[in-house]
Amino acid sequence: MRNPTKKLITLLCMLPLSSVLHAASPQVGVAMSAFDDNWLTILRSAITDEAKKEGATVQMEDGKNEVGTQLNQIQNFAASSLQAIIVNPVDSTAVQSISDEAHEAEIPLVYVNREPANINMLPENQAFVGSSEIEGGTLQGKEVCRLLNGKGNVLIMQGDLAQQSAVLRTQAVEDVFKKAPCDGIKVVDKQIAKWTRTGGNNLMTNWLSTNLKFDAVVANNDEMALGAIQALHASNRDMKTVVVAGIDATVDALNAMKAGDLDVTVFQDATAQGREALVTAMKLVKGEKVPKRVLIPYQLVTPANMNQFLK
Protein backbone atom coordinates (compact mmCIF):
# COMPACT_ATOMS: atom_id res chain seq x y z
CA MET A 1 0.00 0.00 0.00
CA ARG A 2 1.38 3.43 -1.00
CA ASN A 3 2.03 6.06 1.64
CA PRO A 4 -0.72 8.74 1.21
CA THR A 5 1.57 11.46 2.55
CA LYS A 6 4.22 10.58 0.01
CA LYS A 7 1.57 10.61 -2.73
CA LEU A 8 0.43 14.13 -1.69
CA ILE A 9 4.00 15.43 -1.71
CA THR A 10 4.51 13.94 -5.18
CA LEU A 11 1.34 15.66 -6.47
CA LEU A 12 2.36 19.00 -4.99
CA CYS A 13 5.76 18.76 -6.63
CA MET A 14 4.04 18.25 -9.98
CA LEU A 15 2.05 21.51 -9.58
CA PRO A 16 3.44 24.85 -10.75
CA LEU A 17 5.06 26.74 -7.90
CA SER A 18 2.54 29.60 -8.24
CA SER A 19 -0.35 27.17 -7.70
CA VAL A 20 1.22 25.87 -4.50
CA LEU A 21 1.76 29.39 -3.22
CA HIS A 22 -1.82 30.39 -4.04
CA ALA A 23 -3.17 27.34 -2.24
CA ALA A 24 -1.01 28.00 0.81
CA SER A 25 -1.44 31.71 1.43
CA PRO A 26 -1.70 34.43 -1.21
CA GLN A 27 0.92 37.14 -0.66
CA VAL A 28 -0.34 40.70 -1.20
CA GLY A 29 1.91 43.75 -1.29
CA VAL A 30 0.22 46.96 -0.13
CA ALA A 31 1.86 50.29 -0.96
CA MET A 32 0.26 53.19 0.93
CA SER A 33 0.93 56.84 0.15
CA ALA A 34 1.52 57.55 3.85
CA PHE A 35 1.05 55.87 7.23
CA ASP A 36 0.47 59.10 9.19
CA ASP A 37 -2.96 59.89 7.72
CA ASN A 38 -5.86 59.11 10.09
CA TRP A 39 -8.36 58.18 7.39
CA LEU A 40 -5.88 56.01 5.49
CA THR A 41 -5.03 54.22 8.74
CA ILE A 42 -8.64 52.99 8.86
CA LEU A 43 -8.34 51.85 5.25
CA ARG A 44 -5.10 49.99 6.00
CA SER A 45 -6.67 48.19 8.94
CA ALA A 46 -9.60 47.12 6.77
CA ILE A 47 -7.23 45.61 4.18
CA THR A 48 -5.42 43.68 6.91
CA ASP A 49 -8.66 42.44 8.49
CA GLU A 50 -10.09 41.29 5.16
CA ALA A 51 -6.81 39.57 4.27
CA LYS A 52 -7.14 37.44 7.41
CA LYS A 53 -10.64 36.40 6.34
CA GLU A 54 -9.39 35.54 2.86
CA GLY A 55 -6.43 33.57 4.24
CA ALA A 56 -3.97 35.99 2.64
CA THR A 57 -0.87 37.61 4.12
CA VAL A 58 -0.10 41.29 3.66
CA GLN A 59 3.18 43.14 3.30
CA MET A 60 2.46 46.82 4.05
CA GLU A 61 4.79 49.63 2.93
CA ASP A 62 4.81 53.38 3.72
CA GLY A 63 5.41 55.59 0.68
CA LYS A 64 6.00 58.63 2.92
CA ASN A 65 4.32 60.78 0.27
CA GLU A 66 7.28 60.31 -2.07
CA VAL A 67 6.66 59.11 -5.64
CA GLY A 68 10.16 57.61 -6.02
CA THR A 69 9.92 55.72 -2.74
CA GLN A 70 6.59 54.22 -3.71
CA LEU A 71 7.80 53.18 -7.16
CA ASN A 72 10.79 51.40 -5.56
CA GLN A 73 8.35 49.53 -3.31
CA ILE A 74 6.32 48.43 -6.34
CA GLN A 75 9.48 47.26 -8.08
CA ASN A 76 10.40 45.22 -5.01
CA PHE A 77 6.90 43.72 -4.92
CA ALA A 78 7.20 42.75 -8.59
CA ALA A 79 10.60 41.15 -8.02
CA SER A 80 9.22 39.19 -5.06
CA SER A 81 6.62 37.46 -7.24
CA LEU A 82 3.69 38.35 -5.00
CA GLN A 83 0.23 37.22 -6.03
CA ALA A 84 -1.30 40.74 -5.96
CA ILE A 85 -0.48 44.38 -5.32
CA ILE A 86 -2.72 47.08 -3.80
CA VAL A 87 -1.65 50.72 -4.20
CA ASN A 88 -2.88 53.93 -2.64
CA PRO A 89 -0.88 56.21 -4.97
CA VAL A 90 1.20 59.11 -3.73
CA ASP A 91 0.50 60.92 -7.01
CA SER A 92 -2.46 59.67 -9.02
CA THR A 93 -1.13 61.43 -12.14
CA ALA A 94 2.21 59.58 -11.99
CA VAL A 95 1.09 55.96 -11.94
CA GLN A 96 1.92 54.67 -15.41
CA SER A 97 5.24 53.24 -14.20
CA ILE A 98 3.41 51.44 -11.38
CA SER A 99 0.94 49.88 -13.83
CA ASP A 100 3.77 48.92 -16.18
CA GLU A 101 5.81 47.25 -13.41
CA ALA A 102 2.86 45.12 -12.29
CA HIS A 103 1.80 44.31 -15.85
CA GLU A 104 5.29 43.21 -16.86
CA ALA A 105 5.49 40.96 -13.78
CA GLU A 106 1.98 39.61 -14.56
CA ILE A 107 0.79 40.53 -11.05
CA PRO A 108 -2.80 41.76 -10.54
CA LEU A 109 -2.92 45.37 -9.33
CA VAL A 110 -5.66 47.27 -7.51
CA TYR A 111 -5.53 51.03 -6.96
CA VAL A 112 -7.46 52.10 -3.88
CA ASN A 113 -9.01 55.43 -2.80
CA ARG A 114 -7.19 57.64 -5.32
CA GLU A 115 -8.27 57.05 -8.89
CA PRO A 116 -5.29 56.69 -11.24
CA ALA A 117 -5.07 59.09 -14.17
CA ASN A 118 -4.60 56.11 -16.51
CA ILE A 119 -7.86 54.45 -15.40
CA ASN A 120 -9.12 54.08 -18.97
CA MET A 121 -5.91 52.35 -20.11
CA LEU A 122 -5.52 49.80 -17.32
CA PRO A 123 -4.80 46.19 -18.36
CA GLU A 124 -7.45 43.53 -17.69
CA ASN A 125 -5.87 42.47 -14.40
CA GLN A 126 -5.85 46.01 -12.94
CA ALA A 127 -8.72 47.96 -11.35
CA PHE A 128 -9.64 50.87 -9.08
CA VAL A 129 -11.63 50.71 -5.82
CA GLY A 130 -12.80 53.96 -4.29
CA SER A 131 -15.56 56.53 -4.37
CA SER A 132 -16.66 59.12 -6.93
CA GLU A 133 -14.91 62.35 -5.95
CA ILE A 134 -17.40 64.32 -8.04
CA GLU A 135 -20.23 62.79 -5.99
CA GLY A 136 -18.52 63.70 -2.71
CA GLY A 137 -17.83 67.29 -3.73
CA THR A 138 -21.33 67.73 -5.13
CA LEU A 139 -22.99 66.54 -1.91
CA GLN A 140 -20.75 68.87 0.11
CA GLY A 141 -21.36 71.87 -2.15
CA LYS A 142 -25.13 71.48 -2.25
CA GLU A 143 -25.42 71.31 1.54
CA VAL A 144 -23.20 74.39 1.97
CA CYS A 145 -25.42 76.16 -0.58
CA ARG A 146 -28.53 75.20 1.38
CA LEU A 147 -27.05 76.49 4.64
CA LEU A 148 -26.05 79.79 2.99
CA ASN A 149 -29.42 80.15 1.23
CA GLY A 150 -27.61 80.32 -2.09
CA LYS A 151 -25.50 83.41 -1.43
CA GLY A 152 -22.29 84.43 0.35
CA ASN A 153 -18.49 84.34 0.17
CA VAL A 154 -16.69 81.00 0.38
CA LEU A 155 -13.08 79.94 0.95
CA ILE A 156 -11.91 76.57 -0.39
CA MET A 157 -9.12 74.53 1.21
CA GLN A 158 -7.60 72.12 -1.29
CA GLY A 159 -5.62 68.95 -0.72
CA ASP A 160 -2.64 67.98 -2.88
CA LEU A 161 -3.38 68.91 -6.51
CA ALA A 162 -1.23 65.97 -7.62
CA GLN A 163 -4.17 63.83 -6.52
CA GLN A 164 -7.43 63.56 -8.44
CA SER A 165 -9.44 63.68 -5.22
CA ALA A 166 -8.41 67.29 -4.53
CA VAL A 167 -8.95 68.42 -8.12
CA LEU A 168 -12.32 66.73 -8.60
CA ARG A 169 -13.80 67.61 -5.20
CA THR A 170 -12.93 71.27 -5.77
CA GLN A 171 -14.30 71.17 -9.30
CA ALA A 172 -17.57 69.63 -8.12
CA VAL A 173 -18.06 72.28 -5.41
CA GLU A 174 -17.36 75.11 -7.85
CA ASP A 175 -19.76 73.60 -10.40
CA VAL A 176 -22.53 73.59 -7.77
CA PHE A 177 -21.91 77.27 -7.05
CA LYS A 178 -22.14 78.21 -10.74
CA LYS A 179 -25.77 77.11 -11.10
CA ALA A 180 -29.05 78.31 -9.64
CA PRO A 181 -30.08 78.33 -6.86
CA CYS A 182 -26.44 78.50 -5.69
CA ASP A 183 -25.06 81.06 -8.16
CA GLY A 184 -25.16 83.80 -5.52
CA ILE A 185 -22.18 82.15 -3.86
CA LYS A 186 -18.72 83.49 -4.70
CA VAL A 187 -15.43 81.67 -4.14
CA VAL A 188 -13.24 84.51 -2.88
CA ASP A 189 -10.09 82.39 -2.54
CA LYS A 190 -8.86 78.80 -2.75
CA GLN A 191 -5.47 77.53 -1.66
CA ILE A 192 -3.65 74.30 -0.92
CA ALA A 193 -3.41 73.00 2.66
CA LYS A 194 -2.02 69.52 1.83
CA TRP A 195 -4.81 67.50 3.54
CA THR A 196 -3.46 68.15 7.05
CA ARG A 197 -4.87 69.75 10.19
CA THR A 198 -1.72 71.85 10.54
CA GLY A 199 -2.03 72.98 6.93
CA GLY A 200 -5.67 73.95 7.48
CA ASN A 201 -4.81 75.86 10.64
CA ASN A 202 -1.96 77.76 8.98
CA LEU A 203 -4.01 78.63 5.89
CA MET A 204 -6.99 79.79 7.94
CA THR A 205 -4.69 81.88 10.13
CA ASN A 206 -3.26 83.54 7.01
CA TRP A 207 -6.72 84.27 5.64
CA LEU A 208 -7.84 85.76 8.96
CA SER A 209 -4.80 88.05 8.99
CA THR A 210 -5.94 89.60 5.68
CA ASN A 211 -9.38 90.54 7.05
CA LEU A 212 -10.97 88.65 4.16
CA LYS A 213 -14.78 88.57 4.43
CA PHE A 214 -16.20 85.05 4.23
CA ASP A 215 -19.30 83.12 5.24
CA ALA A 216 -18.07 79.55 4.76
CA VAL A 217 -14.93 77.42 4.63
CA VAL A 218 -15.16 74.38 2.35
CA ALA A 219 -12.31 71.90 2.81
CA ASN A 220 -11.47 68.93 0.60
CA ASN A 221 -11.21 66.78 3.75
CA ASP A 222 -12.02 66.82 7.46
CA GLU A 223 -8.45 67.27 8.67
CA MET A 224 -8.12 70.63 6.94
CA ALA A 225 -11.59 71.63 8.15
CA LEU A 226 -10.56 70.79 11.73
CA GLY A 227 -7.44 72.92 11.35
CA ALA A 228 -9.61 75.79 10.12
CA ILE A 229 -11.84 75.39 13.17
CA GLN A 230 -8.81 75.60 15.47
CA ALA A 231 -7.74 78.87 13.85
CA LEU A 232 -11.29 80.28 13.97
CA HIS A 233 -11.50 79.50 17.68
CA ALA A 234 -8.11 81.13 18.25
CA SER A 235 -9.40 84.31 16.54
CA ASN A 236 -12.58 84.24 18.65
CA ARG A 237 -14.80 83.96 15.58
CA ASP A 238 -18.38 83.07 16.54
CA MET A 239 -18.83 79.63 14.96
CA LYS A 240 -22.52 80.38 14.42
CA THR A 241 -21.50 83.00 11.86
CA VAL A 242 -19.50 80.66 9.62
CA VAL A 243 -20.28 77.38 7.84
CA VAL A 244 -17.42 74.86 7.94
CA ALA A 245 -17.52 71.78 5.69
CA GLY A 246 -15.25 68.77 5.28
CA ILE A 247 -15.23 65.33 3.70
CA ASP A 248 -14.60 61.88 5.24
CA ALA A 249 -16.74 61.88 8.42
CA THR A 250 -13.81 60.87 10.64
CA VAL A 251 -14.36 60.36 14.37
CA ASP A 252 -12.72 63.71 15.16
CA ALA A 253 -14.89 65.45 12.58
CA LEU A 254 -18.08 63.94 13.98
CA ASN A 255 -17.08 65.04 17.47
CA ALA A 256 -16.52 68.55 16.11
CA MET A 257 -19.98 68.42 14.55
CA LYS A 258 -21.45 67.29 17.86
CA ALA A 259 -19.75 70.29 19.50
CA GLY A 260 -21.38 72.62 16.96
CA ASP A 261 -18.17 73.56 15.12
CA LEU A 262 -18.43 71.48 11.93
CA ASP A 263 -21.61 71.92 9.88
CA VAL A 264 -21.16 69.47 7.02
CA THR A 265 -19.10 66.43 6.16
CA VAL A 266 -19.49 63.58 3.69
CA PHE A 267 -18.93 60.00 4.74
CA GLN A 268 -16.29 58.26 2.69
CA ASP A 269 -16.23 54.64 3.80
CA ALA A 270 -12.57 53.80 4.45
CA THR A 271 -13.45 50.37 5.81
CA ALA A 272 -15.51 49.44 2.75
CA GLN A 273 -12.81 50.71 0.37
CA GLY A 274 -10.08 48.74 2.13
CA ARG A 275 -12.17 45.59 2.34
CA GLU A 276 -13.28 45.79 -1.31
CA ALA A 277 -9.70 46.45 -2.49
CA LEU A 278 -8.56 43.17 -0.95
CA VAL A 279 -11.61 41.28 -2.23
CA THR A 280 -11.07 42.67 -5.74
CA ALA A 281 -7.38 41.73 -5.64
CA MET A 282 -8.29 38.15 -4.68
CA LYS A 283 -10.80 37.95 -7.54
CA LEU A 284 -8.10 39.03 -9.98
CA VAL A 285 -5.71 36.44 -8.53
CA LYS A 286 -8.33 33.78 -9.30
CA GLY A 287 -8.65 35.06 -12.86
CA GLU A 288 -12.13 36.53 -12.37
CA LYS A 289 -13.21 39.60 -14.30
CA VAL A 290 -13.92 42.76 -12.30
CA PRO A 291 -15.13 46.25 -13.31
CA LYS A 292 -12.45 48.84 -13.97
CA ARG A 293 -14.09 50.99 -11.27
CA VAL A 294 -15.56 49.52 -8.08
CA LEU A 295 -17.29 52.47 -6.45
CA ILE A 296 -18.39 52.84 -2.82
CA PRO A 297 -21.14 55.52 -2.44
CA TYR A 298 -20.61 58.72 -0.44
CA GLN A 299 -23.19 59.75 2.18
CA LEU A 300 -23.98 63.28 3.36
CA VAL A 301 -23.53 63.79 7.11
CA THR A 302 -25.19 66.66 8.99
CA PRO A 303 -26.13 67.27 12.65
CA ALA A 304 -29.51 65.70 11.82
CA ASN A 305 -28.09 62.26 11.02
CA MET A 306 -24.60 62.26 12.56
CA ASN A 307 -25.53 59.89 15.38
CA GLN A 308 -25.81 56.93 13.00
CA PHE A 309 -22.24 57.59 11.87
CA LEU A 310 -20.93 58.09 15.41
CA LYS A 311 -21.95 54.49 16.06
Sequence spans of domains, the chain: 9-131+269-296, 133-267
Count the Cβ atoms, other than its own, within 10 Å of residue 68: 10
pLDDT of 21? 40
What would the pLDDT profile of 12-65 be if each residue is shown by its tens digit?
444 444 443 444 689 999 999 999 888 899 999 999 999 999 999 999 999 999
Q: Which residues of 17-40 are buried (b: 16+ CB within 10 A; e: fewer)?
A: eeeeebeeebbbbbbbbbeebbbb
For residues 155 and 213, what is the distance between their CA atoms, to the nearest angstrom? 9
Q: For residues 146 and 303, what is the distance between their CA atoms, to the nearest angstrom?
A: 14
In this model, does residue 1 exceed pLDDT 50? no
What pLDDT is recorded for position 39?
Answer: 87
Residue 24: the pLDDT is 66
Mean residue pLDDT across the chain: 91
pLDDT tens column, 199-239: 999 999 999 999 899 999 999 999 999 999 999 999 999 99
Answer whether 9-131+269-296 and 133-267 agree in fold: yes
The DSSP secondary structure of the chain, one letter per residue, reads ---HHHHHHHHHHHS-HHHHHHHH--EEEEEES-SS-HHHHHHHHHHHHHHHHHT-EEEEEE-TT-HHHHHHHHHHHHHTT-SEEEE--S-TTS-HHHHHHHHHTT--EEEESS--TTGGG--TTEEEEE--HHHHHHHHHHHHHHHHTTEEEEEEEE--TTSHHHHHHHHHHHHHHTSTTSTEEEEEEEEE-TT-HHHHHHHHHHHHHTT---SEEEESSHHHHHHHHHHHHHTT--GGG-EEE-SB--HHHHHHHHTTS--BEEE--HHHHHHHHHHHHHHHHTT----SEEEPPPEEE-TTTHHHHH-
The model's pLDDT over 89-129, given as tens digits with 9 standing for 90+, comes to: 999 889 999 999 999 999 999 999 999 999 999 999 999 99
Q: Beta strand 299-301 with 265-267: parallel, antiparallel or unpaired? A: antiparallel
Report angle CA 75, 287, 163 to the nearest 5 degrees.
45
pLDDT at 10 over 80: no
CATH 3.30.930.10 fits 9-131+269-296, yes or no: no
pLDDT (mean) for 271-297: 96
Tens digit of each residue's pLDDT (9 = 90 or more) over 243-258? 999 999 999 999 999 9
Query: Which of 128, 80, 132, 117 is closest to 101 using CA atoms?
Result: 80
Please write the tens of the pLDDT for every residue from 191-210: 999 999 999 999 999 999 99
Task: Specify burial of residue 307 (Cβ count, 10 A radius: 0-12, 13-18, 19+).
Answer: exposed
The predicted model scores a pTM of 0.79
Predicted local confidence at residue 7, as pLDDT? 35
Apex 37 CA angle, 31 and 38, nearest 5: 120
11 has pLDDT over 80 = no
Q: What are the pLDDT digits (tens) for 143-165?
A: 999 999 999 999 999 998 888 88
Q: What CATH number has the domain spanning 133-267?
A: 3.40.50.2300
- What mean pLDDT do residues 261-277 have? 97
